[in-house]
Amino acid sequence: GENVEQHPSTLSVQEGDSAVIKCTYSDSASNYFPWYKQELGKGPQLIIDIRSNVGEKKDQRIAVTLNKTAKHFSLHITETQPEDSAVYFCAPHTGGFKTIFGAGTRLFVKA
């Protein structure tokens, strides 16, 4: 089955700095690559996604890059703000019904 790993598990940055979280997956059939943000007491919320025919996608301060050959994709957050503090999950999708989530990265943005 699919094996998904996220690194780092915890990331602490100064406000205004950039943050990068990497997700490595094992199933070469994966074709959809979302990143979710989960705040305390809430469910995960999609912040950006990318499909396998695209290498990079950007939405304001957030970007996702995909390397299908190496089987990893990364979340990039620039000009971090305190409200970016949360847990971030990757969840690469295959054609099956089951979705495997990464273990999460806890991001702390210090003001």
Partner 1 sequence: GAGVSQSPRYKVAKRGQDVALRCDPISGHVSLFWYQQALGQGPEFLTYFQNEAQLDKSGLPSDRFFAERPEGSVSTLKIQRTQQEDSAVYLCASSLIPKGEWNTEAFFGQGTRLTVV
Residues within the interface to partner 1 (CB under 8 A): 31-32, 34, 36, 41-46, 49, 89, 93, 95-104
For the bound state, the minimum distance from the C-beta of residue 42 to partner 1, rounded and expressed in Å, comes to 6
Strand order in the sheet with 19-25: 4-7, 19-25, 72-77, 62-67, 56-59
Shortest distance, position 104 Cβ to partner 1, whole Å: 5
Comparing CB distances to partner 1, the nearer of 74 and 92 is 92
Q: Which C-beta is closer to partner 1: that of 16 or that of 96?
A: 96
84: CB partners within 8 A, 6+ apart: 19, 77, 107, 109
Nearest residue (CB) to partner 1, 41 versus 69: 41
Q: Are 84 and 19 in contact (CB under 8 A)?
A: yes
Name the minimum Å distance from CB 102 to partner 1. Answer: 6
Min separation Cβ 98 and partner 1, Å: 5
- DSSP strand pairing (105-110 vs 10-14): parallel
The length of the chain in residues reads 111
18 vs 29, beta carbon nearer partner 1: 29
